[in-house]
Amino acid sequence: MAAKILDGKKVAEEIKTSLKEEVTRLKARGLTPGLAVVLVGEDPASKVYVKQKEKACEEVGFASQVYRLPEDTSEESLLQLINELNDDRAVHGILVQLPLPGHLDANQVIQAINPAKDVDGFHPFNVGRLAAGLAAPVPCTPRGIIHLLEAYNIPIAGRHAVVVGRSNIVGKPLAQLLLARDATVTVCHSKTGNLTSFTRTADILVAAVGRPRLITRDMVKLGAVVVDVGINRLPEGMVGDVDFEAVREVADYITPVPGGVGPLTIAMLLRNTLEAALAGQGGGPPGE
Ligand code: NDP
């Protein structure tokens, strides 16, 4: 029997509907959540992501501002903009779209963001808090994956979760979140020998690699939950890191690409921004 689809698009729409209601209430109290997005250069994928984020902010009634800076922007002027946004009381969240052009040091830039406004959860202060099990803004994609699993009542505790990919953006924070929910977690990467021997033991298998259809049917245990984070643009269109058609024959649940993890990532960015706005008012709980 083919796997059930984990419909990220539908779940993200539900989140946005509830956020919209909450924003209406907050606006009545004089608080409009504000997100500043900074895009440097002309990376085509980044431009698409920023546009999607801008549109989502509009949909739920946030005040969003996109700063589109030229490719040759100096680190000094980028850091100056971040400082201004840090000081701007109408801005509750700051997101610098990655990757940055090669002459800019992403670590320096991320560390310049006020951790309270770090809605991507990439600042070392927040990374440390997450690792220590303290409240922190949680990186959007991992938070979205956990939300999707929970929305479908998929148990995490006691299960073996295998995360393929160890980036700071997806793999590592996701491993932390799964561990915090009592999964037994294995993290694989490009130097992992015999990847299949690990993936085949996964109850929950997450692919966050960026290699089209890396995860094939023989790598997946019967009845597994398969989450495909990958976005690979091929001549025939967008595909994930999982061979969807073949793997759906053995898995119990699977995310499609597109329409799986992507929409949740944006929904969680909105939620992180709203939580930052509430925390700025002495109001709400940061993080999950
Ligand atoms: P990175 O390139 O930062 O990390 C990729 C990871 O995959 C690395 O840890 C790398 O290992 C590992 N890897 C590479 N090749 C292999 C292999 N053959 N076998 C096992 N592991 C391998 O990517 P990101 O984490 O930023 O993104 C991963 C994918 O997810 C991309 O396609 C990206 O576009 C997509 N993405 C999607 C999002 C969404 O909202 N849907 C959000 C963010 C990303 P090593 O560390 O050893 O190099």
* Residue range 237-278, pLDDT digits in tens: 999 999 999 999 999 999 999 999 999 999 999 999 999 999
Q: Which residues contact 72 (CB under 8 A, 6 or more apart)?
A: 101, 103
CATH architecture of 140-263: 3-Layer(aba) Sandwich (3.40)
Tokens of 182: 């009592």
User: How far away, in angstroms, is 29 Cα from ligand 1 center?
Assistant: 42
Average pLDDT value over all residues in the chain: 96
Residue at token pair 């949909």 = 59
- The confidence score (pLDDT) of residue 1 equals 78
Share of residues in the chain with pLDDT > 90 (%): 97
Mean pLDDT of 140-154: 98
Helix or strand run (H / E) with residue 64:
strand 63-69
- 161 - beta bridge partners? 185, 204
Q: Where are the alpha helices (DSSP H) in the chain?
A: 8-28, 44-60, 75-87, 106-112, 124-131, 140-151, 171-180, 195-199, 244-247, 261-280
Tell me the mean pLDDT in the region 158-162.
98
From CA 19, how far away is CA 41, in angstroms rounded?
31
The architecture (CATH level 2) of 32-115 comes to 3-Layer(aba) Sandwich (3.40)
Shortest-distance atom of ligand 1 to CA 266: 40
For the chain, give the percent of residues with pLDDT over 70. Answer: 97
**8 A C-beta contact, residue 50 and residue 38:** no
CA 259 to chain centre: 14
193 CB near ligand 1 (under 6 Å): no
**pTM > 0.95:** yes
Q: What would the two tokens of residue 193 be?
A: 């020998």
Q: Best mutation site among 141, 190, 272 for ligand 1, i.e. most ligand atoms within 8 A of its Cβ?
A: 190
Say how many Å lie between the CA of residue 93 and the centre of ligand 1. Answer: 25
Catalytic residue numbers read 53, 97, 120
Distance from Cα 195 to the centre of ligand 1, integer Å? 15
- 187 Cα: distance to centroid of ligand 1 (angstroms): 12
Residue type, 159: R
- What pLDDT digit, counting tens, does each position of 175-221 carry? 999 999 999 999 999 999 999 999 999 999 999 999 999 999 999 99
The verdict on the CB of residue 97 being under 6 Å from ligand 1 is no
Give the position of tokens 């690409």.
257
The amino acid present at 277, given as its one-letter code, is A
How far is 54 from 83, CA to CA, in rounded Å?
21
Q: Helix axis angle, 140-151 relative to 8-28, nearest 10°?
A: 110
pLDDT at 286: 45
Give dist(CA 206, CA 227) in Å, integer.
5
Q: Is 156 helix (H, G, I), strand (E, B) or coil?
A: coil
Mean pLDDT confidence for 36-63: 97
What's the whole-number mean pLDDT along residues 71-99?
98
* pLDDT recorded at residue 285: 45
- Ligand 1 neighbour 229 (Cβ under 6 A): yes
- Structural domain boundaries of the chain? 32-115, 140-263
**Ligand 1 nearest atom to the CA of residue 264, by list position:** 40
Amino acid at 151: A
Mean pLDDT of 107-122: 98
**pLDDT tens sequence across 14-47:** 999 999 999 999 999 999 999 999 999 999 999 9
Q: Which atom of ligand 1 is nearest the CA belonging to 191?
A: 47
Taking the C-alpha atoms of residue 134 and residue 158, their distance in angstroms, rounded to an integer, is: 22
Statement: residue 282 has pLDDT above 70: no
Strand pairing class (237-239; 232-234): antiparallel
Secondary structure tally for the chain: helices H, strands E: 10, 11
CA-nearest residue for atom 6, ligand 1, is: 165
Residue 191 Cβ contacting ligand 1 at under 6 Å: yes
> What is the DSSP code (8-state) at residue 218?
G
Terminal CA-CA length for the chain? 34
Is 232 a residue whose pLDDT tops 60?
Answer: yes
Q: Given the CA of residue 170, which atom of ligand 1 is nearest to it? A: 25
Asked whether 165 lines ligand 1 (CB < 6 A), one says: yes
Question: Average pLDDT, stretch 228-241?
Answer: 96
